[in-house]
Every structure is written in structure tokens, then in C-alpha cells.
Amino acid sequence: MIQLIVASAEPRFLDFVRETNAEVIGTHEDMGPNLAQRILHDVNASPQSAVLLDISLDVEQGLRTLEQIKQSGPDVYVILSDMNCTQDFLLRSMRSGSADFLQQPLKRAEFSEAMTRVEQHTQRVQRQDRQIGRMYSFVGVKGGVGTTTAALNFAAICAKHGKSTVLVDLDMDSGDAASYLGLRHQYSLADVVDGLDQLDQAMLEGIMVRDALGFQVLCAPEEIERSRLIGEEHLREIGSFLIERYDAVIVDGSRALDGLLLSCLELSESIFVVLTEEFPAVRNAQHYLSALARAGYGMEAVKLVVNRHEKKGSLHVSLEQLKQTLGASPFWVLPNKYEEAMTAVHEARPVVMKGNAELGRSYRDFAKKLGMNGQPPSPGKK
């Protein structure tokens, strides 16, 4: 219910408001010079409330009161009310910071529309306060280029920075994420889809598995038959739900560029296209990027991540050639460190957790470039 603080010297005005379904939490009939202070006192006690200020008794003083309120409480939502409402007057009241205006005599329909606007305003503010999280999708131009490795290392970094983090494994064919992390899971994305009607955070946390590093993994289904039942609409709904509740949602998109993957890209802030310097990978990257472009994602929307970079080697496409072929510079280049990568899988620990591994360092610098600096930020929402 909307909470109102009402100031009016007119008892009928107050009576009218009391008969609506707004909750009147404070009234002021004395319009004296410290009215603004008294109203601000009420607002402090109930920060969600809006103020309805009847200035018909003395317009000049009323506008002064409004200005004083807005000076000390710029976010206070004030509705002015007066008998007349000339253009000039409305303009003045807006400039003084009123959010809305109600002409007197008050009418039910107009009043309730004004209350709807208060409610919409409150919801907007709440949404802004609870900043929505970000989805980062990692997609590979072909299998084996290191998409899963990149996604889970990035998830580990996000968790280490105190962000509430979810890794979503979209690879319904092999679903490597859980096994690279040594996690056993009973439930998967298919179970979320089955229970979509009752989707809430508790249910989701019962389905996801928690990695020791603190991030959650939403695993891919093991059974192909169940994977087939997952649709684009489902992923859109689950993805939106996740970014509303977690700071970072990382998608392991080791799969073909199909409708399911595209429905996640729509929600993603960053799309990392992973490739290597091998000829087939670069050729695939060309096709992949043009498919992305046809879907509306140009080179501004995607970030190239070159994996397994070799400083020298004639068997590879050089970074310079790669840049020319693809028409874009890599956003990040990760070194070829097969042993480090394999040891990490063997030990089921993301390589980024190894202080002395070169590949781990490169991943940390990658995250730094994305704005995740040395120190973990203040704890994220949970």
C-alpha cells in the first residue's frame, strides 16, 4: 500500500485522502514556516512514503516549503495540489521539484492515477537500488578451443571477488563444467525447466551445485532426451531470473550457435568468442562471426579471446594475420599452457587459483581488463 504524508489546512482535503486506499501515515494541518522540517522528519521515519502538499492556502509559502523539502531530501516524492493549475504555475512547481500535481477539488479517478504513478516510481527506484547482475557468455568457434576452461576460470575469479556467481553449462552434449570442477550433481537445467512454474531461488539452489570456491553451477542434463525439451523461451526466463538475483552469470556456451545459445546472448553484457590460432579455428571463426553478425551482433558486441597462443610456430596463424582475417583485434590472448590446463582439470581446481601458473595469471589480468581489480569489491548481493 502507498504511504502518504499529507499537509493541508483544509479538513475536507484530509478526509478525502483518508477515504482512499492510500495509507496516511502523517498529517500536518498547521502550514507554519517549519512545515518542511516536520514533513522531512516523517519521511525519515518512513523513507518509502510520498508527500501530498496542499498549497491552496498560500501558494508562495507552499512552493517555498516544496523547495525546502527538495533541498534536504532531493529524492522525496512530492505531489502538489492547488485549485488552479495554469501552465505557468505547473512549470514553476515542476522546476521547484514536484513530481506530480493534483487539481482541487480532488477527484477519485485522478487521485488513484496519481497513486499508480507513485507506485511505479517506487518500483523503479527499488530496481535501481538492486542493480541487476551481468551475464557473460563464452562461446567457441569449434569444440576443443578452450571455451569451458575460460568460462569456469572466469566464474572462479568472479566468486573470488565476492560476487554471487552462477556458471550455467549449456553444453548438453558433454557438459564438462561439472567434471572439470570435480563436482557430482544430481539435478540439472532440465529440472529447472520441469519446475519452471514454481521457479524461485530456493528451488534453484537445491538444483545447482556449489563449488568450493563459492560459485554455483547449473549443470547440463545428462540425458539427451531431457535436453531436447529445453526451449529458447525456458532459457530466456531462467536467464532473466538469474541476472536479477546474482551479480555474475557465466554461460559455458560450448555448443553450436543455435537458438538456445542465441537466447542467452540476448541477455549477455559480454560475448566472448573463443578461438585458437589453428587454421581450422580461424576459418570457423570467420563463419561464426558472420553468423553472429546476421543475428545482429557486430564486432562491437563481441570480444575475441585467442586461446593457446604460441609466440612462435609456423603451423599457426599469426596474431597479425588473425586480425586481418577477422577484421578485429583480440580482446585477450591466453598463452598455450597445456600442462597447466591439464593439471587444473586433473586436480579439479581452476588454473586461475594457482598463484604461480602463467595461464592463471593471464586469466586474472583478463578479469582486470574487464574492471575486476585487485581487491575484491564490497560483498555483492546474495
List of residues contacting Mg ion (CB under 5 A):
147-148, 171, 176, 254
Instruction: Tell whether residue 49 is a contact of ligand ADP (CB under 6 A).
Output: no
Cell of 33: 514556516
284 belongs to the binding site for ligand ADP (CB under 6 A): no
Sheet of 216-218, strands arranged across: 209-210, 216-218, 165-169, 248-253, 134-140, 270-276, 302-309, 332-335
Q: 345 is in the binding site of which of Mg ion, ligand ADP, none (Cβ under 5 to 8 A by kind)?
A: ligand ADP
Minimal distance in Å, beta carbon 227 to Mg ion?
15
Binder of residue 341, out of ligand ADP, Mg ion, none (CB less than 5 to 8 A by kind) = ligand ADP
- Interatomic CA distance for residues 191 and 207, integer angstroms: 7
Phi, psi at 54, each rounded to 5°: -90, 115
Least Å distance between CB 312 and ligand ADP?
16
Q: How far apart are CA 263 and CA 357, in angstroms?
A: 35
When asked if residue 307 is in the footprint of ligand ADP (CB under 6 A), the reply is yes
State the minimum distance, in angstroms, from the CB of residue 96 to ligand ADP.
59
* Per-residue cell: 336: 598455450
User: Angle 52-55-60 (CA atoms, 0-180°, nearest 5)?
Assistant: 135
Rounded to an integer, what distance in angstroms lies between the CA atom of residue 148 and that of residue 121? 42
CB-nearer residue toward ligand ADP: 216 or 307: 307
Choice between 153 and 216, CB closer to ligand ADP:
153
As a whole number of angstroms, the distance between CA 332 and CA 334 comes to 7
Query: What is the C-alpha radius of gyration for the chain, rounded to an integer number of angstroms?
Result: 28
Of 37-45, 113-121, 335-343, 372-380, the segment contacting ligand ADP by CB under 6 A is 335-343
Residue in 35, 208, 271, 345 binding ligand ADP, rule: CB under 6 A: 345
**Nearest position to Mg ion, beta carbon:** 254
359 part of the interface to ligand ADP, by CB under 6 A: yes
Contacts of ligand ADP in 141-180 (CB under 6 A):
143-149, 176
